[in-house]
Amino acid sequence: MKWLGNVLVSPGEGGVYGERTLDGYRVWDPYRSKLAALYTLGGGVELTPEIRVLYLGAANGTTVSHVADYVETVYAVEFAPRPMQDLLEVARRRRNIVPIMADANRPEEYAPFMEAVDILYQDVAQPNQVEIAERNLPFLKPGGHLILMLKTRSVDVRREPAEVLAGARAGLEEHLDVTDVRWLDPYHHDHAAIVCSRRG
């Protein structure tokens, strides 16, 4: 992955969402992308050209477009019609994005379009975030990585964020090896990234 000084950039065609460019590269803003925040804070999984990604919660394709600049294929799942329109436009300009309008709670709906992936990225802010990740694990290769962006206030606004994080980690550890856990402050408050690897 490409850094210019302490700025994370990606090499694709610019102008996806009005992002800045630097020396011809697209600047990946950690305040707009939780994945960019994770990388900026020293975490994350290196993106390389042979990697395939299943991205749950693609929204309007901001982060998806940066991921697609680095990897072979991004299967981008989004449920809401309005962001899906933006995602379709992003996918029109990047042929390695496969937009899928579906509910990430029901992976059987898009299983026919899928292949095994190296990274499962989960950014669906629902109370059952961990369960959604687990339902999609059949697509993840042994040795592959799950990156779960936990929005603690979406899980349970009454509990302390640290308590919500501990519960999510415990749930994931039943199926996966947790390799990194970190809060995304100052970029995204009450959000934490949990990075796991799938046992072989």
Check the annotation: does 123 bind a ligand: yes
Check the annotation: does 104 bind a ligand: yes
- The phi and psi torsions of 67 (rounded to 5 degrees) equal -60, -45
Asked if 134 and 175 count as a contact pair (C-beta separation under 8 A), the reply is yes
Distance CA 36, CA 55 (A): 14
Check the annotation: does 118 bind a ligand: no
Check the annotation: does 78 bind a ligand: yes
Check the annotation: does 62 bind a ligand: yes
Check the annotation: does 40 bind a ligand: no
Rounded to the nearest 5 degrees, what angle is found at the Cα of 87, between the Cα atoms of 16 and 153? 100
Check the annotation: does 126 bind a ligand: yes
Distance CA 127, CA 104 (A): 13
Instruction: Quote the tokens at residue 6.
Output: 């302490």
Check the annotation: does 125 bind a ligand: yes
Instruction: Quote the tokens at residue 166.
Output: 């501990």
Asked if 15 and 69 count as a contact pair (C-beta separation under 8 A), the reply is no
Q: Which residues are annotated as a binding site?
A: 62-63, 78-79, 103-104, 123-126
Q: Which residues are annotated as a binding site for S-adenosyl-L-methionine?
A: 62-63, 78-79, 103-104, 123-126
